Structure 1
Amino acid sequence: MIATPPPSLNAFDRLWLTEAVRLREEHAGPLEDDEANRQARATGGDFSTLIEHRALWLARRDGLLEALRHWHQGARLAGILLIVLAVFSGAGLAATALGDSQRPVNVFWALGSLLGLNLLTLLTWFGSSRFSRDSGGALGRLWLWLSEKFARDAHAVQLVPALLVVLQENRLTRWLLGSAVHGLWSVAMTSTLVTMLAMLATHRYGFVWETTILNDNTFIGLTHMLGLLPGLLGFDLPTIEQIRASGAVHADLESARQAWASWMVGVLLAYGLLPRLVLAGLCYWRWRRGRTALRLDLQRPAFRLLRNRLQPAERLGISDPAPASLPTQEYAVRSSAGTGALLVAIELDSTYPWPPQLPTGVGDAGILDDRQQRRELLEQLTRNPPARLAIACDPRRSADRGTLALIGELSRCAVETRVWLLPAPPGEQLDGDRLSDWREALNRMGIVHTDSNLSTWLESGHD
């Protein structure tokens, strides 16, 4: 049975999987890829497309495609967890800065609590963006680590190095991880702002500033400087008299309450939330823009070695008429029905009279005895898949892995496949244990098998 096409992947995921397969082959050696190369050649396209189709076929066979799906799920779970933590952290900042309303709030101490860590990490991000290729910060690396852990797939370990290679070589690490980091800080600052507004609306706070070595003018200048941008946004600023009064020992806090509250909210919005929102939007825009420009580096040694296998030198002249259209499904898997019916045998000895009498219209592919015959038939079936394929096997032989692998490859080149377990020649009996091994192996592969002649099925599609 021709396999169902896998879910569609975007261009970045296809490049990611291709890089993962390349790294795996660099560390563990070349993979068994005869069928992958054949399916890629049948799909057609330029050299870059052939490399991609080969890698995606291998990724599906070896579990990397499923691991990628699990990684995406893990990334979403990690993102949700970090967002929840950001919400609670932001609310905690506001509660710590304002206190329980029993004592006046020191405005500059509270401001340091609200913005100190945010501004410190922001400066760190700018510094790492200038001097480092990573610049994802601790939050970015934590997100990648959690994504891998939540994926709960052993193959997901192979995906993270490939992701980092793709990002770093195209200078996209800072933009992808930066959008995540600034997005999380935006959530935290939004939570802080909302919590602060709720607390200011439901509690009665007084605001003061205190100093031992500085004078009034220092705090007046600092307050007005910090209030310039919030003032442009429409927030109220304390007057000079209100600022001086807030520094007195027995200050009248009533007149300045709303002005200080408006000033603190404005400063938090202007210097805490807005920069993070702008940077999150900028990083995301650069990430989307850079992602569309990603291309395979065909000069890599591993890719150059594939050229002869994926684009073998062709004979001059026309060997087959050009098809009306090239298949477009991934992994060279066709969803449309094949045509005709075909019978093929695998490693039969001379005790079997072969081929049997076949109905009109049923083709005979002969007996596959060597690697070259197998390759030629698989190439032919990949180009022109039959609607029905019967594979005759001698159950007196062991159901070895090579034969079962060949049956699997043949079955993926046909719409429907059945295995014909031939009866023993006259005067011989089949080994019951060996026959059970065949049936068990074919059942695990999901391939229909029978010990009856399949001529009727090959001719009409019905038993």
Structure 2
Amino acid sequence: MDLSRFEQFWLAEHQRLRDVRDPSLQQQQFKLNEIRAHGPQNQLIERAVCLSERQGLLNQLSHWQHLRRLLTLVLGVLAVVIGMGVSQTILSQPQPLSLLFAINILLLPNLLMLLFWLAFTLRKPRPSGITGVAYSLLTLLQRKRGESALEQSWLAHVQQQRLLQPLMAVATHGFWLLIAISSWLTLILYLSFNDYTFQWATTILNAEQVATIAHAINGLPHFLFSAQVPTIADSATNTTIAAQAGRWLALCLMTYGVLPRALAALLAVGLFYRRAHAMELDLQAEGYHAVVNALGESRQQTNTVDADTDSDTAIHFHYADHGHGSYLLTLDYEAEPEYTTSAEQLGLVATYADKQHMLQRLSANPSAQLQVRVAAQLTPDRSSIQYLAALAQTTQQLTVVLVRGSQATYLAQWQQQLDRYGVAYVVA
């Protein structure tokens, strides 16, 4: 099963909660020396995914996602039906139709719910509104299957990563956006193929008051679409030009119903993906800290750092004959995210694709000086040394910066390996 980044972090939080409830699970369920990932965060995620596979948790997660998609479809259909029903209710009234009545029914509920969302929903730390309904249904269905722990870890995860509010916003604005769009399309369809008459109907307002309200409503549609207020007669029983009134009604619904919800939904989606991309595990959190320490101890007990350490001729460091500029990059894991330098920073290279892209970039433009930051809590395995040797060919001077960070488990091994190949290094 291919897991998204969100799901991997979710499983890591789920496993953390399990470890907190039963600390004995931290080392008994999984051999820590089986973990191959670099960096504490990647190691915790790999451990959580492997344990989930062994415990059958991935099937529960798949079931959760299936239910989520099903509920999304049901709520989407419900929103479309509501939107169609609103327009049909207005157009089924005895003619001539009241423009004031139509505007109120089409726009007022949407705008009021938008104001309530701005005033109250953003402050709540738990799912509410449409998100709360969906979450409650998911929780109920999961508990019937004995899988309530998964929804608890989901809530803890989205709260910690500040994803709950954008998720709630996406669900809320998406629901009301579907209502507005379906209502607008239904209105356009009926007005295109049926003959309707409209009037500014009122019982207690005079013509001047109706005109004031109409021009106030028309302010934004006129600015966006150059919409004109339908002709206002002194008598409430006189009808306006039907085509002008119909177009004006549709433009008002687009302006105050569709566009605000569409903009809010897009902003919410953008915020969600931005925060999801920036997700980080709190390595000091209860449950994580103990496992990270256990991983360090497990690796420190391993005597053989690299299977080919006796092969002196396997790796050679050759340097470029020329180069310009001073650059700095971080290999695999940045132990000090706040670090700054005067050299041009090339960022973090962790994946195979990133490493190959960086080699191509530096090979095309060799540098005079290249600093490579390495976390001393990572093992100096053969692939890392080989990559440093490849980087050496792109620069006149290579310097490895060994970063102690919170743990310097393999500092001595790194120093031994770099001395062995004659690579300059400093300890930070």
With normalisation by structure 2, the TM-score equals 0.66
Match of 1:383 in 2: none
Match of 1:265 in 2: 250
Seen in structure 2, the aligned counterparts of structure 1 residues 22 and 131 have a Cα distance that, compared at 3 Å, is same
Match of 2:304 in 1: 319
What is the Cα deviation at residue 222 of structure 1?
1.3
SS at match of 1:233: helix
Match of 1:294 in 2: 279
Question: 1:108 is matched with which residue: 100, 110, 117?
Answer: 100
Match of 1:275 in 2: 260
Match of 1:157 in 2: 148
Query: Is 1:119 matched up with 2:111?
Result: yes
Tell me if the contact between 1:95 and 1:195 (Cα under 8 Å) persists in the aligned partners.
yes
Query: Is 1:49 matched up with 2:49?
Result: no
Supply the distance in 1 between the matched residues of 2:50 and 2:59 (Cα, whole angstroms): 12
Tell me if the contact between 1:75 and 1:146 (Cα under 8 Å) persists in the aligned partners.
no
Residues 159-198 of structure 1: CA deviation (Å, up to 9, x unaligned): 2221221222232211112112211211111100011111
Tell me if the contact between 1:227 and 1:237 (Cα under 8 Å) persists in the aligned partners.
yes
What is the Cα deviation at residue 320 of structure 1?
5.6
Question: 1:22 is matched with which residue: 16, 23, 31?
Answer: 16
Query: Is 1:166 matched up with 2:160?
Result: no
Supply the distance in 2 between the matched residues of 1:82 and 1:314 (Cα, whole angstroms): 50
The amino acid of 1:230's aligned partner reads: P
Supply the distance in 2 between the matched residues of 1:51 and 1:24 (Cα, whole angstroms): 13
Seen in structure 2, the aligned counterparts of structure 1 residues 211 and 302 have a Cα distance that, compared at 3 Å, is same
Match of 2:232 in 1: 243
Tell me if the contact between 2:19 and 2:26 (Cα under 8 Å) persists in the aligned partners.
no
What is the Cα deviation at residue 235 of structure 1?
5.5
| Range moving further from structure 2, 205-214 or 64-73 | 205-214
What is the Cα deviation at residue 201 of structure 1?
2.0
What is the Cα deviation at residue 72 of structure 1?
1.2
Match of 1:91 in 2: 84
Alignment RMSD (CA, Å): 2.7
Match of 1:131 in 2: 123
Query: Is 1:215 matched up with 2:206?
Result: yes
Tell me if the contact between 1:74 and 1:146 (Cα under 8 Å) persists in the aligned partners.
no
Which structure: larger Rg? 1
Match of 1:183 in 2: 174
Supply the distance in 2 between the matched residues of 1:154 and 1:28 (Cα, whole angstroms): 22
What is the Cα deviation at residue 158 of structure 1?
1.6
Seen in structure 2, the aligned counterparts of structure 1 residues 214 and 297 have a Cα distance that, compared at 3 Å, is same
Seen in structure 2, the aligned counterparts of structure 1 residues 147 and 37 have a Cα distance that, compared at 3 Å, is same
Task: Give the fraction of aligned pairs with identical amino acids, expressed as a percent.
Answer: 28
Which of structures 1 and 2 has the larger relative contact order (alpha carbons within 8 angstroms, sep 6+)? 1
Supply the distance in 2 between the matched residues of 1:182 and 1:232 (Cα, whole angstroms): 24
Supply the distance in 1 between the matched residues of 2:39 and 2:77 (Cα, whole angstroms): 46
What is the Cα deviation at residue 291 of structure 1?
0.3
Match of 1:411 in 2: none
Seen in structure 2, the aligned counterparts of structure 1 residues 151 and 9 have a Cα distance that, compared at 3 Å, is same
Seen in structure 2, the aligned counterparts of structure 1 residues 221 and 122 have a Cα distance that, compared at 3 Å, is same
Tell me if the contact between 1:230 and 1:266 (Cα under 8 Å) persists in the aligned partners.
yes
Match of 1:11 in 2: 5
What is the Cα deviation at residue 154 of structure 1?
3.0
Match of 1:225 in 2: 216
What is the Cα deviation at residue 47 of structure 1?
2.1
Tell me if the contact between 1:105 and 1:207 (Cα under 8 Å) persists in the aligned partners.
yes
The amino acid of 1:180's aligned partner reads: A
Question: 2:53 is matched with which residue: 60, 71, 78?
Answer: 60
What is the Cα deviation at residue 67 of structure 1?
1.0
The amino acid of 2:117's aligned partner reads: W
The amino acid of 1:244's aligned partner reads: A
What is the Cα deviation at residue 290 of structure 1?
0.4
Tell me if the contact between 1:73 and 1:151 (Cα under 8 Å) persists in the aligned partners.
no
The count of aligned residue pairs is 310
SS at match of 2:52: helix
The amino acid of 2:212's aligned partner reads: G
With normalisation by structure 1, the TM-score equals 0.61
What is the Cα deviation at residue 212 of structure 1?
3.8
Supply the distance in 1 between the matched residues of 2:218 and 2:75 (Cα, whole angstroms): 32
Supply the distance in 1 between the matched residues of 2:184 and 2:214 (Cα, whole angstroms): 19
Unaligned stretches of 5+ in structure 1? 1-6, 325-463
Supply the distance in 1 between the matched residues of 2:237 and 2:224 (Cα, whole angstroms): 32
The amino acid of 1:285's aligned partner reads: G
Supply the distance in 1 between the matched residues of 2:182 and 2:196 (Cα, whole angstroms): 20
What is the Cα deviation at residue 52 of structure 1?
1.8
The amino acid of 1:159's aligned partner reads: L
The amino acid of 1:243's aligned partner reads: I
What is the Cα deviation at residue 317 of structure 1?
9.4
Residues 269-315 of structure 1: CA deviation (Å, up to 9, x unaligned): 00001000000000000000000111111111212222343221666
Question: 1:193 is matched with which residue: 159, 184, 206?
Answer: 184
Match of 2:342 in 1: none
What is the Cα deviation at residue 29 of structure 1?
5.3
Supply the distance in 1 between the matched residues of 2:222 and 2:277 (Cα, whole angstroms): 40
Supply the distance in 1 between the matched residues of 2:275 and 2:166 (Cα, whole angstroms): 9
Supply the distance in 2 between the matched residues of 1:313 and 1:56 (Cα, whole angstroms): 19
Supply the distance in 1 between the matched residues of 2:295 and 2:302 (Cα, whole angstroms): 20
